[in-house]
A and B are shown apart, each in its own frame.
Chain A
Amino acid sequence: MKLVENKYYLKQIQIRYIVYAILALLLMLVELLFIDIIAIESVTPDLLLILCVWITLAEGQFVGLFFAFGIGLIFDVISGDVIGTNALAKLVASYVAGFFHKERNIKSNLNTLRFTLVVLVSAFIHNIIYFFFYLKPAETSFWQFFLQYGVSATLYTMLFSAIAILIKIPAKEIDID
């Protein structure tokens, strides 16, 4: 009976990971193809970061790190960005988001405004790291550029994360208790 339960549990995890991967690919396409539609004065939300934070809060810091690194790396490759910048920024953001992960409070972490706050903190750190690599120090002041684009991008990402909290997640915590 226990073995059957374990198999079922593993299958559930596999399905979730596949769903995350498909979602990541879809969001990458959205980021590359349609992000201009929702851009305000060239400021865009980072949908992939929202997914990374979501995965980290749902699955834990350890799993979140791998997903964040993988998503960031693939996005670097397909977006033509410097390879490793998105990977590093999303990795650190997920690491920070991981400290908010609580096995017993997954639902309240994901379905309440707490999620948007975690996204805010993670997006802030993500953008500091990303813009640090993105900018050539000789051309523009880092802080000036970060305040102009980084902060607005952080707030816009947080705003978009509010949509994510409306999604009803499967009640994973019943397995843990």
Chain B
Amino acid sequence: MQDLIKTILRFKVLITFTALCVISLSLISLGEVSKISGFRAIVIASISNIQKFFSWVPNPVALRSENQALRDLNLQLSSEVIKMRAALIENNRLRSMLALKDTSSEKLIPAEVVNKTNVQMRSYVTINKGSRDGIREGMAVRTDAGLVGEVVATTNSYSLVETLNNRHVKVSAKIVRNQIDGILNWEGGNFLVLNNIPTSFEVYPNDMIVTSNYSVKFPHNIPIGRVAKVEKEYGSLFHKIYVEPYANFASLEQVFVIDYIVDEEIVELTKKIEETIKAKNRQRK
């Protein structure tokens, strides 16, 4: 017994070290220890409060880098402002020449996404604004980044928005750089696909895609996304263009409903012609 105690005392450092290593590894393997998570939260909150109390202490390194970043940003913004002023003047001049309606003055109704639904490749979001707030079926919905979808149903307080990542949704879209129009749809995955762009037109990655002037659903020039990749299919006359949407459908929280409905006469006319063509086809069969 005494020998055992002597041996333990002789190797006490090694035994302690091994034991503490085992304890540490066990704690690591446990990961988040839920029992102390409350205590941990209190400690971290207290530290945050102390941090807030000491926030007046200047950090020269951080201040220097922040100053540098702000100077860079200032420079960038100044040049952006100059460019935008020039663009605005040019825009006004062209608009007055073409007598186009200023679409940027459309009223935006802010709304919050309260629910998301995915039913067999169909994706919808519910927003907390409805017909009481002036929302009607057919209105376009966007975020500050880009187009999200279209209002398909409304109640007094809520509206259902069909997002672009639905298989049957088709959007008339154009490439901003060369103004070529195509049809945008979703074929699964993270990208939208822009079809009907002839291979005779060059399309490059990062080209901006916006809603087309021919769209009967959406106001024109709403940003949709950027070209992620372009594929040329063997034997096809058209590009297959993958578009990365600007709006992140997975993390939609705040959106804007555009208080704009495309002229119903155009919609009616399009529907009428479509029905006539379908009827003729049926007769032929």
Contacts and interface: CB of A to CB of B under 8 A. Distances in A.
A59 B202 CA distance: 74
Contacts of A83: 27-28, 30-31, 33, 36
B24 A80 contact: no
A91 B61 contact: no
B51 interface: yes
B27 A36 contact: no
A96 to B, nearest CB: 10
Interface string B1-24: 000000000001100110011011
B61 A40 contact: yes
B16 A37 contact: no
Interface stretch (B39-47, B111-119, B274-282): B39-47
Contact of A80 (B20, B39, B40, B51): B40
B21 A92 contact: yes
Question: B interface, how many residues as a size bin?
Answer: 20 to 34
A150 to B, nearest CB: 18
Given A78-B44, A91-B21, A37 B13 contact: no
Nearest to A88: B24
Contacts of A36: 59, 61-62
Given A29-B50, A34-B57, A36-B59, A77 B24 contact: no
A82 B43 CA distance: 15
A24 B22 CA distance: 23
B54 interface: yes
Nearest to A129: B24
B40 A66 contact: no
Interface in B134-188: none
Contact of A84 (B24, B39, B54, B61): B24
A120 to B, nearest CB: 21
Nearest to A86: B24
Nearest to A62: B13
A91 B17 contact: yes
B26 interface: yes
A115 to B, nearest CB: 21
Interface of A: 29, 32-34, 36-37, 39-40, 61-62, 65-66, 69, 72-73, 76-78, 80, 82-85, 87-88, 91-92, 95, 98, 133
